[in-house]
Every structure is written in C-alpha cells, then in structure tokens.
Amino acid sequence: MQPEKPFSEQTRLTHDQRHDKGAVSPPVYQSSLFSFSDYDSMIARFRGDSDQPLYSRVDNPTVKVLQDKMAELEGGEACLAFGSGMAAISNAILSVVQPGDKVVCINHVYPDTYRFLKGFCTRFNISSEFVDGDSLEAIAAALPGAKLLYLESPSSWVMSEQDLQKIAALAKEHKVITLIDNSWASPLFQKPLALGIDMVVHSASKYIGGHSDVVAGLVIANAERISAISRYISPFLGGKLSANEAWLLIRGLRTLPLRMRQHHESALQLASQLQDHPQILAVNHPGLHKAAFSTLSGYSGLFSFELDQSVDIPTFCNALQLFHMGVSWGGFESLVMPAISVLNQAGEFNSAVDFGVSPRVIRVSIGLEDTADLWNDLQQAIAAARQ
C-alpha cells in the first residue's frame, strides 16, 4: 500500500526496504561475475533486454542499491558510483569534452580537479578558463565557445557560493553543460539538479560515508548523461566501486540527516564564536555571510578562518588536543588543515597559490564531538601559539 503522503528524506534514508530473506540491510555481493542460467538469459543481457548483473566492473547489485538511493536523493534519474571522488569527476568531465573543447571552471575549485584540468586535460588539447564564481558577468563572458562549465558551491578554502539558478540559465543560453561538485552541502542541503544544473558529483568519502572508512565518488544526472558515461567512459577507465564500499556508504546514508544536523549546528556555532575572537581576522562560512541568492537549506561542518600575525601556525596546530591534522573532511572527527601546508606543496598547478589563498588561513572540519570541548580546544591552542 502506498502512503497517502510521500515519506520524508530522513524516513526514506533510515527505513530501508527489506532484502533477501527479510534482511534489513542489503547483501554484499562479493562476486566478480554473475553467471546465467541459460543461453537465452545471456543473450537478453547483452541485447540490453535484461538487467541481470554481468560483471562487477560495470554492475553489481550492492552498488546498484547505493546508486538508486543517491539518484532519488539528488532528484536525478540515474547515478554511477566510483572508487574515488576524482574518478567520478574525471569520468563526468571526459563524458562531455573532446579534443579542442573548452572548459570554464570557477576559481578556488578542489585542488585535484584544478590539476586534472590544467595538467591532464591539456595533454589532449582540452583547454580551461578559470573565472571568479562570485561574478555572473565573468562567467557570462567566458561561456561563448565553451562545452562545459564546472562549479563547486560552496567553493574550496573560501566557501563562497555561486548563483546556481542564474548560472544554469546562462549556460543553457550558450548550450553549455553544467557540472557541480556538491560534496560540501550534501544532497540534503542543496539540490543543484532542481535548479537547472545538468550533472552533480560527490566525493562520497566525505558526508555520504561519514565515518572516514571509505573512498568513493558519485555522479548523478539524467539517464542519457549517465548512459554516456557508463557506455563510453567508465568501463574503460575502470574506476569501479567495490560491493563492500557501497555497503558502507549505504550504512552512512542511514544516519546522514542526523549527522548533517549536528555538523550544521556545531560548525555554525563555532564559526560565530571565532568571528568574535580577537586573533581571528576573518571567518569563511556561508552561514555568516549569507548570499541573497543562496540555495543552501543548511550548512555542513567545513569552513575556514584566518589567524592574525600574532599566532604561530605550527604551534597552534601542535597545541590542538581534539582536532587532528588531515587532508580530508566530512567524517565524525574534527580536523584542521593549514593553508600553508598546500601553499608549500611541491609540483605545478597549485590552485591555492594561483588563486591567492592566504598562508594565514586554517580550514576546519567540525565533527561530532561536544561543541563546548571543541571551542575550548581552539581557544587554548590560539593562546598557546601567541607570539
């Protein structure tokens, strides 16, 4: 019997359907291949007349449960899961562009996306133009002749938003496909497809998983765009997600609404307190400087702040007791990442350097610890690092 009203997202994520033999959790299909009962079944599968699994590089029943859930959550028709966020990003980009095409991308994008566009793609005569995501005028000026517009809202390091609805409309005028990294907000706090964006990617290692125990990526779009990836790109790049990792992500989805609510409340409170601290020059959190066009319905636990010259950054980092230092985010544990560490990173194509991230900036991911304890830890570390 169908419910009179659709269930909420929290109920749909928590109350999973029953699976084989009444299991409330889906089985882990730890199998590389799936055999056929007869000749006609195999022929039907190769003709596309059957959805029986074939081979876990291209389809797996446990992975399919995850994909179906994520497509529904983002409001898309279909989803593909990958072994990392960068696998999802690269597959999505390469499904759109060809040699000779141009990509327009916002500044302050995820560093490896920047390196992929500036390094890998240029080897195949795919050019990129980087623009200020805060400026509709700059985006509009760059769109003529482009094939793809790559967005990330809020953006890396500075957490600035883009006007997704207006940008999507601009891109459609120029017949430019739009792709956004929605990892910061999660599907709960932002729905880019409903605003006209064509494709969404997630680093599922972050809030989707939420437990810092899996690396994965997701692409969600309409069926045609997902089919283009699954037919022409992903089978040959081989960035598949394993059944075990898919199961962990399904587990993570069950608590996503509860975790995101806590991340939202704790980070917003700490960002507000840091904003009033005498040694803090600026706090980059969308909730403190909400844009009139904001499409966020909530905030995640990731933001950044800038320390003044009186605070020694290495001493500050070493004095922290609850915050670990680490490059990822979105898990249960609180983390800091000093910008100086990536500004000094060896190699070319450094987005933090190229787009002027201050060496005084600290990126912070607020986990699920007690907020008062986290605040006390930040205060004592700043005090210990005063020069």
Query: CB count, 10 Å around CB of 19?
Result: 14
Residue 267 lies in a domain: yes
pLDDT above 50 (res 323): yes
CATH of the domain at 288: 3.90.1150.10
Is the pLDDT confidence value at 14 over 90? Answer: no
Work out the percent of the chain whose per-residue pLDDT is above 90. 83
- Residue 1: its pLDDT value, please? 47
- Mean pLDDT in residue range 357-369: 97
**Statement to judge: residues 20 and 61 lie in one domain:** yes
| pLDDT over 80 at 23, yes or no | no
Q: Is residue 3 part of a domain?
A: no
The verdict on residue 1 lying in a domain is no
pLDDT in tens, 88-109: 999 999 999 999 999 999 999 9
Tell me which of 252, 270, 289 is where a domain ends. 252
Same domain, 104 and 232: yes
Is the pLDDT reported for residue 136 higher than 80? yes
From the number of C-beta atoms within 10 Å of its C-beta (0-12, 13-18, 19+), residue 50 rates as middle
Examine residue 2 and state whether it is found in any structural domain, yes or no. no
The whole-number average pLDDT for the span 136-157 is 97
Q: What is the pLDDT of residue 5?
A: 64
The residue type of 339 is A
Are residues 106 and 24 part of one domain?
yes
Considering 194, 226, 252, which residue would you say is the last residue of a domain?
252
- Counting the structural domains of the chain, the total is 2
Residues 234 and 95 in one domain: yes
Q: Give residue 141's Cα distance to chain centre.
A: 27
Regarding whether 242 and 286 lie in a shared domain, the answer is no
pLDDT tens-digit series, residues 230-285:
999 999 999 999 999 999 999 999 999 999 999 999 999 999 999 999 999 999 99
Residue 8 has pLDDT above 90, yes or no: no
- State pTM to two decimals: 0.93
List CB contacts of 41: < 8 A, sequence separation 6 or more: 50, 52
Residues 131 and 241 in one domain: yes
- Give the model's pLDDT for residue 18: 64
Residue 154 has pLDDT above 60, yes or no: yes
Average pLDDT, the chain: 94
pLDDT (mean) for 193-214: 97
Q: Which long-range CB contacts under 8 A does 55-60 form with residues at least 24 apart?
A: 56/29, 56/31, 56/32, 56/240, 56/242, 56/243, 57/235, 57/238, 57/240, 58/230, 58/234, 58/235, 58/240, 60/29, 60/31, 60/240, 60/243, 60/246
CATH number at residue 91: 3.40.640.10
57 and 112 belong to one structural domain: yes
Domain presence at residue 102: yes
- What 3-state DSSP class applies to 201? strand
pLDDT of residue 290: 87
Residue-level pLDDT at 3: 55
pLDDT at 4: 63
For the record, the structure tokens of 368 come out as: 């699920």
Q: Which residue range(s) make up the domain with 34?
A: 9-252
Predicted pLDDT at 94: 97
Rg (CA), the chain: 22
* Residues 101 and 21 reside in one and the same domain: yes
For the segment 343-355, what is each residue's pLDDT rounded down to a tens digit? 988 778 889 999 9
Q: Is the pLDDT of residue 370 over 50?
A: yes
Structural domain includes residue 190: yes
- Mark whether 231 and 269 lie in a shared domain: no
For residue 296, what pLDDT is reported? 97
CB hemisphere CA count around 235 (13 angstroms): 10
Closest by alpha carbon to 348, among 156, 129, 119, 157?
119
Q: What is the mean pLDDT of residues 284-302?
A: 95
Q: CA quadruple 300, 302, 308, 312: dihedral positive or negative?
A: positive
Note whether residue 4 is domain-resident: no
Task: Give residue 301's pLDDT band: very low, low, confident or very high (50, 70, 90).
Answer: very high
Nearest to 374 by CA among 328, 325, 333: 333
Return the residue matching tokens 């797996």.
Answer: 60
Distance of CA 95 to CAs 30, 67, 121, 195, 227, Å?
28, 18, 13, 22, 10
Residue 33 DSSP label: B
> Are 108 and 54 in a shared domain?
yes
pLDDT computed for residue 122 by the predictor: 96
Tell which of 212, 237, 252 closes a domain.
252
Q: Please give the order of strands across the beta sheet that includes 280-284.
A: 280-284, 302-307, 361-365, 335-338, 324-325
Pairing between β-strand 102-106 and β-strand 148-152 as defined by DSSP bridges: parallel
**Are 264 and 347 found together in one domain?**
yes
- My answer on whether 378 and 311 are in the same domain is yes
pLDDT value at residue 51:
86
Is a pLDDT exceeding 70 seen at residue 165? yes
Helix axis angle, 61-74 to 243-254, nearest 10°: 40
